């Protein structure tokens, strides 16, 4: 039970698309992650996907809709079932919340990559 | 489905201890709130309590333990059942996540004050 400094946690790794768990909130993992480039289009059938941009700027591409820009200080929730693709031209630092064990790809047939806890 | 600028949302009200809902994440309400002064000691029997400090600095008093300081850029999760009291000498702006319908006081015998959605 202690305060978690997100900038400090982000300083521990430089990999992209590699969420690191920093806290638990009920049945959810609270993570920090760095994005750069684009992730594959995917969806989460049983959960919303919570993004809060800490530093930088990202795009959220939504299937069949106009892309959204999400800037530092802004949050975005992708509702369950919505096909989306996070994308960033330059590195962006993000606070991410998802249920424990949810694969980032939303593909439950694939084993979720074990997430590092820092 | 749009990005939510938290500073912009916070500019809409000046009251303290008055969470405003800005988004939903699964069965949770995502809120912004301003604290100043101290809240009564309380606990939430069935849920953790998620705090992320956006601006300023707050203390989290924990029954029987040393108080924690939570600064801008830091998050803190109060585990369910833990008696706590948020406190701030000067105004602090906070992102708060709790399950829908959870009273801020944790007292389920009291009706939860309806939360404004902005």
ipTM: 0.93
In a domain, A1, yes or no: no
The CATH number assigned to the domain holding B97 equals 2.60.120.10
Judged by CB atoms closer than 8 Å, whether chains meet at B1 and A62 is answered as: yes
In a domain, A41, yes or no: yes
pLDDT band, residue A104 (cuts 50/70/90):
confident
Average pLDDT of the segment spanning A28-32:
97
In a domain, A87, yes or no: yes
In a domain, A102, yes or no: yes
pLDDT band, residue A80 (cuts 50/70/90):
very high
Task: Say yes or no: A1 contacts chain B, CB-CB below 8 A.
Answer: yes
Full DSSP string of chain B: ---EEHHHHHTT---SS--EEEEEETTEEEEEEEEEEEPPPB--SS--EEEEEEESEEEEEETTS--EEEETTEEEEEPTT--EEEEEEEEEEEEEEEETT--TT--TTSPPPPPEE-
Task: Say yes or no: A69 contacts chain B, CB-CB below 8 A.
Answer: yes
Task: Say yes or no: B23 contacts chain A, CB-CB below 8 A.
Answer: yes
Q: Which residues of A touch B23 (CB under 8 A)?
A: 75, 77
Average pLDDT of the segment spanning B58-71:
97
Counted domains in chain A: 1
How many CB atoms are closer than 10 A to CB B22? Answer: 22
pLDDT band, residue B113 (cuts 50/70/90):
low
In a domain, B75, yes or no: yes
Question: CB-based contacts of A114: which residues, under 8 Å, 6+ apart?
Answer: none
In a domain, B73, yes or no: yes
Q: Which helix (H) or strand (E) holds A5?
A: strand A4-5
Does the pLDDT of residue A25 top 90, yes or no? yes
In a domain, B1, yes or no: no
Give the structural domain span for A62: 6-117
Cα separation, B46 vs B38, in Å, equals 23
Would you state the pLDDT for residue B104? 72
Question: CB-based contacts of B74: which residues, under 8 Å, 6+ apart?
Answer: A3, A4, A5, A6, B52, B53
Q: Which residues of A touch B97 (CB under 8 A)?
A: 25, 97
Does the pLDDT of residue A33 top 60, yes or no? yes
Task: Say yes or no: A71 contacts chain B, CB-CB below 8 A.
Answer: yes
Average pLDDT of the segment spanning A32-57:
96
């Amino acid at each position: 039970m202690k305060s978690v400094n997100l900038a400090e946690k982000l300083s521990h790794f430089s990999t992209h698309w590699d969420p690191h768990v920093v806290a638990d909130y009920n049945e959810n993992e609270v993570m920090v992650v760095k994005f750069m480039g684009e992730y594959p289009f995917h969806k989460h059938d049983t959960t919303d996907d919570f993004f809060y941009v800490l530093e930088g700027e990202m795009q959220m591409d939504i299937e069949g809709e106009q892309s959204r820009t999400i800037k530092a200080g802004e949050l975005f929730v992708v509702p369950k079932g919505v096909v989306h693709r996070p994308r960033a031209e330059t590195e962006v630092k993000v606070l991410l919340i998802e249920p424990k064990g949810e694969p980032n790809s939303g593909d439950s047939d694939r084993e979720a990559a074990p997430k590092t806890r820092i």
